[in-house]
Structure 1
């Protein structure tokens, strides 16, 4: 991932938390024909039996991308966070527009999970995403026969973390005056991404006047 040094995020704990908070990711693999294939899906960061962290998720069996998993070719998982257009009209000098954003990219080798491992993953995923539901459901609330029947329609995988890269492009190269004005302008855009980007900028230069 291309990232100028000033925008690099290198703290492992910060990157891992970002992955947990932005788990709806893009999984990219390459077929034998060299054509890339991508699927949007929730991907979890979980510890393996030996205590090492790994990525875990599942694809619909009807999605032929699963047939590319378990090969020697590395897969790429892309996790995206807040982002927003930054107008150059917000500066006190002539410059070009840009885009602020947060992203983490992970490459690794994949392995297809067993049926029991898949069941355990589905149990964890449902529990995680149902936690804020008014009437939460769980895998354990369904009959085992029904769950295993439905599992025939998915293929679960795990992915090692061979490389971990993060970008936090948040106008770190701007002086306090322009940095403050960018935050102010983002607040006036009236959309969640702009607000989230402003929040990240404030958090990273917390001593700046708001």
Structure 2
């Protein structure tokens, strides 16, 4: 991913927080020279000094068979994005697009059954624990779990490269930056406006 220096993010705490907030990812591999992709929720974990992506695919999805065959698997995370009109700037310029995206690369390995159970337990806790009647691993019947487990394949990816781009108009001066946020909110692009408010400018 091409990342101008203005927009590059190197702080792994910031990257981790972004991935955890935008965990519906695109997993990309190749087979016979052709890129293939699957859109799935994944988990992002730090294990000692390593970062790991884990998830699962339907056994009927042929992409899982390519995971261990590929030297590198690409996982893409995307946040809010929005068109930025140059009419919002004080001086003449061309329009652009703001966005947040993270690419991670690593070697994939399929999970053993016990590892898959742990991955699924963690995912259920992440998305269900705050609910009044949470659906958690221990609340589901053994019969249902065994049946569903037969239909999925778990995997983990040991990350060896991270590319993060948060293009949030950091190259504009303070007045333009504040005006862009104001116009985004007017046009209903509240998520991008919120991302910019969390950004590097003091607005």
User: CA 1:51/1:148 → structure 2, altered by over 3 Å: closer, same or farther?
Assistant: farther
Distance, in Å, in 1 between the alignment partners of 2:66 and 2:46 is 23
TM-score (norm. length: structure 2): 0.95
Question: Equivalent residue for 2:40?
Answer: 41
1:203 counterpart = 2:201 = no
Distance, in Å, in 2 between the alignment partners of 1:203 and 1:163 is 25
Higher strand proportion, which one?
A: 2
1:121 counterpart = 2:119 = yes
Question: Equivalent residue for 1:176?
Answer: 174
User: CA 1:180/1:47 → structure 2, altered by over 3 Å: closer, same or farther?
Assistant: closer
Distance, in Å, in 2 between the alignment partners of 1:102 and 1:87 is 18
| 1:19-168 paired onto structure 2 within 5 Å | 19-31=19-31, 33-48=32-47, 52-168=50-166
Partners of 1:54 and 1:161 within 8 A in 2: yes
Distance, in Å, in 2 between the alignment partners of 1:105 and 1:96 is 27
Distance, in Å, in 2 between the alignment partners of 1:147 and 1:19 is 28
TM-score (norm. length: structure 1): 0.92
Structure 1 residue 207: Cα displacement: 2.9
Gaps of 5+ in 2: none
Distance, in Å, in 2 between the alignment partners of 1:75 and 1:207 is 37
Gaps of 5+ in 1: none
Partners of 2:43 and 2:54 within 8 A in 1: yes
Distance, in Å, in 2 between the alignment partners of 1:205 and 1:36 is 35
Partners of 1:71 and 1:109 within 8 A in 2: no
Any idea what SS the aligned residue of 2:198 has?
Answer: helix
Structure 1 residue 189: Cα displacement: 0.8
Distance, in Å, in 1 between the alignment partners of 2:193 and 2:134 is 33
Any idea what SS the aligned residue of 1:96 has?
Answer: coil
Structure 1 residue 145: Cα displacement: 3.4
Partners of 1:84 and 1:99 within 8 A in 2: yes
Structure 1 residue 120: Cα displacement: 1.1
Structure 1 residue 124: Cα displacement: 0.9
Number of positions where the alignment pairs a residue of Structure 1 with one of Structure 2: 203
Q: What is the CA RMSD across the aligned residues, in angstroms?
A: 1.4
**1:122-166 alpha-carbon deviations (Å, 9 max, x no partner):** 111111111233321111112223212210100000001110111
Q: Which moved more, 1:96-105 or 1:139-148?
A: 139-148
User: CA 1:180/1:130 → structure 2, altered by over 3 Å: closer, same or farther?
Assistant: same
Partners of 1:100 and 1:171 within 8 A in 2: yes
Partners of 1:30 and 1:73 within 8 A in 2: no
